[in-house]
Amino acid sequence: MSTSGRVVMVSHRAPVEVIPEGTGQRMTRTVGGLATALTDALRGPGGTWVAWAGEAAPRVLAPEVTGLAFPIRAVPLDKHEIDNYYAGFANQVLWPLCHIFPDRCHFKPAFWESYQHANERFAEAVRAEIHSGDLVWVNDFHLCLLPGLLRASAVPARLGLFWHIPFPPPAVFGICRWRAELLAGLLGADVIGVQTATDARNLAACLRQFLDVQVVDDPPRVRLPGRDVRVLVLPVGIDAARFRAQAADAAIRAQAARLRTNLGTEIVCLGVDRLDYTKGIIERLLGFEAFLERHPSWRGRVGLLQITVPSRFRVPDYREMKRTIDETVGRIVGRFTHEGRAPLSYAYTTVDHEELAAYYVAADVALVTPLRDGMNLVAKEYVACHAGGDGVLVLSEFAGAAEELGEALLVNPWDAQAIRRQIDLAVSMTAAERRRRMTALAAKVAAHDVRWWTTSFLAALAGDASKVEHDRPGLA
């Protein structure tokens, strides 16, 4: 089938959200690297975005209203559906399952019913937008069933899904009682993109074990009657050029200098995370506490700035986690504050792109230590802001980014003493060693940026395999 070059982007959340306000409403831009990356993917070929944009959103958001270059078709979901499909099945079944926290899963039939219904709603909206020859790009675990629903209705388009979070092995994924339905939905796609080679192997193993389909080659290709489904390893990138430019901006550098002055230490460590139990925030704080305990000579000289962005407060686990973080921060500050100077500055707040760049520039060391992560763009953003060769990245070996960014100081994030040792190594590192490591990391982040990622995925979806295989980054 020839393609029109037009893209229909599909995700749970739109790049804007319509929020009721008094008798009217206001519109806010969605914060996050993924929203920006996918927005860029639509600029060139044109097309539309299908997503939930808030309970108050009209059916269509025109470009003149949003300021974007494309229209958004809003999928209508009420509070009950969001509670059960999004906060329920997506975030209390698939999210913990895929990050290998099965004890946090809640396999409620009501969640599954809402998930099915929501995916059908998305399918209706996509079918209303499709032109013959379009490329449909579905994003993430919220919409596993969508490719299968669209293929069943014989839409005249190529179908792709990118899976942004980790894909677990069969021993974990198989816990879910709806595993076969989820996998069958994914196989409605022509192309399934994943972040790492490990994710591809786990997906292939699940497909073999639970659907008894033939999977060949590496990266895998699934053989189905009349067609193949290609599994593509394609780690998501960032807008590295934009972060480099922000890091060089005089206003941002001045803001970074103020941040350093406020913290009042020689060396600044930084953690930036969404509030989530997978991000390893509590474990990182314990590792920093162990560092201060073990190395009295660094007390007053090394400080940690932890930024935690509010997230998913509809889910009880997150409210409990915030309480634990608050208590841990309070204990560390109480134990190690000296002469009125605290070793730890904690902010529970949202940050915009400029503020984030200032935090990156201010930090001598980035502590990116999720317990498990599909990729982790914070690691890449920090590297891009230190392309000149300064700075040290301490990175969890269980983040997808670790397969690319081998020059980082890799760490087991579950082990507070391992984190302690890597902080000590980071703050003691020579300037020459910092430059060697960071220069290599910056070259990788620049070469495989967001435009490389979106171009490669769309090329694979359009059937141009050569453009992808020759550009794949080597694994560190």
Asked if the model's pLDDT at residue 28 lies above 70, the reply is yes
| Range list for CATH 3.40.50.2000 in the chain | 7-236+451-463, 240-447
Look at the pTM and tell me if it is higher than 0.85: yes
Asked if the model's pLDDT at residue 476 lies above 50, the reply is no
Residue 219 confidence (pLDDT) = 85
pLDDT band of 471, cuts 50, 70, 90: very low
Residue 474 confidence (pLDDT) = 44
What is the 3 state secondary structure string of the chain? CCCCCCEEEEEEECCEEEEEECCEEEEEECCCHHHHHHHHHHHCCCEEEEEECCCCCCCEECHHHHCCCCCEEECCCCHHHHHHHHHHHHHHHHHHHHCCCHHHCCCCHHHHHHHHHHHHHHHHHHHHHCCCCEEEEEECHHHCCHHHHHHHCCCCEEEEEECCCCCCCHHHHCCCCCHHHHHHHHCCCCEEEECCHHHHHHHHHHHHHHHCCEEECCCCEEEECCEEEEEEECCCCCCHHHHHHHHHCHHHHHHHHHHHHHHCCCEEEEEEEECCHHHCHHHHHHHHHHHHHHCHHHCCCEEEEEEEECCCCCCHHHHHHHHHHHHHHHHHHHHHCECCECCEEEEECCCCHHHHHHHHHHCCEEEECCCCECCCHHHHHHHHHCCCCCCEEEEECCEHHHHCCCCCEEECCCCHHHHHHHHHHHHHCCHHHHHHHHHHHHHHHHHCCHHHHHHHHHHHHHCCCHHHHCCCCCCC
Q: pLDDT tens for residues 237-264? A: 999 999 999 999 999 999 999 999 999 9
Q: Identify whether the C-beta of residue 151 lies closer than 8 Å to the C-beta of residue 188.
A: yes
Residue 465 confidence (pLDDT) = 54
Short-list 342, 325, 324, 341, CA closest to 333:
342
* Per-chain mean pLDDT for the chain: 92
Q: pLDDT tens for residues 94-121? A: 999 999 999 999 999 999 999 999 999 9
Q: pLDDT tens for residues 340-351? A: 889 999 999 988
pLDDT band of 468, cuts 50, 70, 90: low
Supply the angle between the helices 197-211 and 179-186 in degrees, to the nearest 10: 120
Q: pLDDT tens for residues 409-441? A: 999 999 999 999 999 999 999 999 999 999 999
CATH of 240-447, one of 3.40.50.2000, 3.40.1280.10, 3.40.190.10, 3.40.50.12780: 3.40.50.2000
Name the least confident of 180-189, 212-221, 374-383.
212-221
- Integer Cα distance of 368 and 398 in angstroms: 10
List the beta bridge partners of residue 411.
Answer: 396
Overall fold of domain 7-236+451-463: Rossmann fold (3.40.50)
pLDDT top residue among 344 and 15? 344
